[in-house]
């Protein structure tokens, strides 16, 4: 690599090398959170990064990009358009969703776009997902959502120039944790569920600073690293990511979660 205008030049081959270094192989599914500017000066821009993923994953693989909509949050369910609403989480995700072969899931806040062999299976019917309450509605991380399908496939879960603080799959873990607590609460479920936060509905929720997840995964030997220009590529897998968060919430909610949620959890589990 050389320097251009004080920045490290990154080429498609550099991204491909890093992906292979952390274990990404042809035919697999990979989701990446990303920051293009953190890499340095990328020859070919966001398109080159996407092409690197496509080249490594091959025709039997699938690239998944979070195309979240966070701006105008109070109105996003009203203004959402699966075809035109831009992704708010980085240039790579926006360029990816605009690729001619990309498919996007239909959810106003937590959609994904996918390119490759399993794009249809991963993105379909997001708006019909159900069964897991969340502050973004039951479909966001529900049964049949792309986030569940990424978990089922144990997708590569990558952070390119960003940290686990943007661990969106962690919201799937939170929703699954809450769903388990409700399922175990028996007759109290009808009393407890309305107290949870919902879309534009105040309530309790197991809010968690996801930056700590990297440390938990390191302890399990479940994080791999590579350099891409000026940035770090962090790599784990979807199942260990979500399962580790759920394990921590089960084991010690008092030390991790807001007091109001802990009080709700104690009532739900009969430990108050």
Cβ–Cβ < 8 Å for 110, 117: no
Q: What does the H/E/C string look like for 11-76?
A: CHHHHHHHHHHCCCCCCCEEEEEECHHHHCEECCHHHHHHHHHHHHHCCCCEEEEECCCCCCHHHH
pLDDT of residue 4: 64
Identify the CA nearest to 171 among candidates 245, 121, 105, 112: 245
Which residue, 140, 239, 88, 61, is CA-closest to 50? 61
Are residues 22 and 158 in contact, defined by beta-carbon separation less than 8 angstroms? yes
Burial of 132 (0-12, 13-18, 19+ CB in 10 A): buried
How many C-beta atoms lie closer than 10 Å to residue 88's C-beta? 17
Helix axes of 169-184 and 238-251: crossing angle, nearest 10 degrees: 50
| Biggest CA-to-CA distance, the chain | 65
Q: At 237, give phi and psi (nearest 5°).
A: -125, 155
pLDDT of residue 254: 87
Identify the pLDDT of residue 3: 54
Instruction: Detail the DSSP E strand segments found in 71-174.
Output: 103-104, 112-116, 156-160
Q: What's the confidence (pLDDT) of residue 1?
A: 44
Instruction: Give the contacts of 84 (CB within 8 A, at least 6 positions apart).
Output: none
Tell me the Cα Rg of the chain.
19
| Residue whose C-alpha is closest to residue 64's, from 175, 152, 174 | 152
- Strand 62-66 with 231-237, pairing: unpaired
d(CA 212, CA 80): 32
The angle at the Cα of 76, spanning 72 to 78, to the nearest 5 degrees, equals 125
Cβ atoms of residues 86 and 43 within 8 Å: no
Query: Distance between CA 123 and CA 142 in Å, rounded?
Result: 13
pLDDT tens for the chain, 272 residues long, are 445 678 999 999 999 999 999 999 999 999 999 999 999 999 999 999 999 999 999 999 999 999 999 887 778 899 999 999 999 999 999 999 999 999 999 999 999 999 999 999 999 999 999 999 999 999 999 999 999 999 999 999 999 999 999 999 999 999 999 999 999 999 999 999 999 999 989 999 999 999 999 999 999 999 999 999 999 999 999 999 999 999 999 998 888 999 999 999 999 998 76
What was the pLDDT predicted at 6?
82
Which pLDDT belongs to residue 75?
84
């Amino acid at each position: 690599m050389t320097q251009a205008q004080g920045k490290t030049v990154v080429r498609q081959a550099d991204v491909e090398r890093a992906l292979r270094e952390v274990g990404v192989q042809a035919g697999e599914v990979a989701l990446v959170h990303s920051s293009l500017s953190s890499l340095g000066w990328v020859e070919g821009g966001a398109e080159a990064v996407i092409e690197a993923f496509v080249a490594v994953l091959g025709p039997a693989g699938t690239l998944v990009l979070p195309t979240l909509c966070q701006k105008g949050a109070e109105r996003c369910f009203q203004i959402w358009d699966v075809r035109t609403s831009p992704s708010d989480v980085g240039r790579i995700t926006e360029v990816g969703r605009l690729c001619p072969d990309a498919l996007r899931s239909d959810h106003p806040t937590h959609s994904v776009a996918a390119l490759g062999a399993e794009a249809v299976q991963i993105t379909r019917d997001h708006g019909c997902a159900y069964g897991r309450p969340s502050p973004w509605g039951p479909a966001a991380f529900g049964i049949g959502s792309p986030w569940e399908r990424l978990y089922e496939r144990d997708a590569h879960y990558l952070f390119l120039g960003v940290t686990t603080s943007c661990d969106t799959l962690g919201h799937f873990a939170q929703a699954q944790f809450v769903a388990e607590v409700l399922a175990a609460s028996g007759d109290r479920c009808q009393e407890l569920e309305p107290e949870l936060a919902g879309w534009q509905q105040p309530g309790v929720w197991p809010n968690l600073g996801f930056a700590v997840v990297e440390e938990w995964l390191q302890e399990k030997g479940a994080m791999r690293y590579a350099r891409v220009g000026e940035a770090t590529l962090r790599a784990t897998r979807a199942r260990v990511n979500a399962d580790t968060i759920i394990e921590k919430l089960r084991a010690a909610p008092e030390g991790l979660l807001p007091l109001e949620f802990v009080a709700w959890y104690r009532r739900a589990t009969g430990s108050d």
